[in-house]
Amino acid sequence: MKTSVVVINWNGAEKLKRYLPKILKVEGVDEFLVSDDASVDQSITVINSFPGVRLIKRDKNGGFSSNVNSGVSKAAGDLVFLLNPDAVPDTDCLIKALPYFKDPLLFSVGCNTGGNWSWANFNKGFFWHYMKEGEPETHQTLWARGGSGIFRKNIFDKLGGMDQFFDPYYEEDTDLGYRATKRGYKNLWVKECKVVLPLEKGVIEENISMAKFSRIAQRNQLLFIWKNITSEKLFSEHKMALAKMLLINPKYWSVFLSAYKKWAEVQKKREVEKKESKLTDEEILRMFDT
């Protein structure tokens, strides 16, 4: 299998200086790419200082999903290792993942970043994903994180990549994993595939206020539910919970209205999910709500 590492960058010049040399030490890689989402800092200069790295330069800033899709579309590998500019894999991380991809239904490997974000439930009308304490053995997960995950490119393409509907950020990797699971593919969290994430602020935290981040995250939570939760029972629970939320929390109206602007688009996507799904929402949630 050919392999590509694609670093997803936006205004991450300082992080690239610090961490890209470490990323380039990952073994078993056929090509290294950096997809840059129209950065306005010195990112392009930094990237061009690494002769072994291919630059994918976007002329217009679109958001995380758009940037990922641009990078993956240019990657030649059968497997694509997506990394944030400050995510540093162990040198043998990719090599340790390769045997798992002998399973043709395996879509992605989620790496061990010290936190196990494998679990999800549908509680009080909303979809929640959360981290469990401890470090379990390798197991099936609902999704692989977009900044530290390894993806099979032909399935990624078949799924249409990350849904740019969620730009600028948040829920796009959860959506991708959920859609893959609904279609009968698998995602694994692999204990021995380790990626170190720094304790410092990420690029989004450095460039976006927490208030704005929170609004977009809450909007995308609604869009995820409206698009993917096709169970009539669960969706009815959501509608009741949403009505209650709007009654008791007037500030939530701004979140709701920002999501509702996409209602026509989300309905089309919802119909696709109904048509393509092999597993029900209830079956999936039973797998991961333990």
Model confidence over 62-102: pLDDT tens digits?
A: 999 999 999 999 999 999 999 999 999 999 999 999 999 99
Bridge partners for 129 per DSSP: 120
Predicted confidence at residue 86, as pLDDT, reads: 95
Q: Which residue has the tokens 């994180």?
A: 145
State what percent of residues in the chain have pLDDT above 90: 85
Q: What is the pTM of this model?
A: 0.95
For residue 290, what pLDDT band results from cuts at 50, 70 and 90?
A: low
The answer for residues whose C-beta is within 8 angstroms of residue 218's C-beta and 6 or more apart is 252, 255
C-alpha–C-alpha distance, residues 251 and 266, integer Å? 23
Q: Per-residue confidence at 240, pLDDT binned at 50, 70, 90?
A: very high
| Spatial separation of the C-alpha atoms in residues 142 and 150, rounded to whole Å | 14
pLDDT in tens, 184-201: 999 999 999 999 988 777
If you ran DSSP here, which 8-state letter would residue 202 be given?
A: P
288 Cβ contact list (under 8 Å, min separation 6):
118, 119, 120, 121, 141, 142
pLDDT range class, residue 215, cuts 50, 70, 90:
very high
Q: Which residue has the higher pLDDT, 257 or 203?
A: 257
Q: Which two tokens stand for residue 231?
A: 């169970």
What are the chain's domains?
A: 3-198 (3.90.550.10), 210-278 (no CATH)
**3-state DSSP call for residue 160?**
coil
SS3 49: coil
What local confidence, expressed as pLDDT, does residue 117 receive?
Answer: 62
Tokens at 51, concatenated: 């002769």
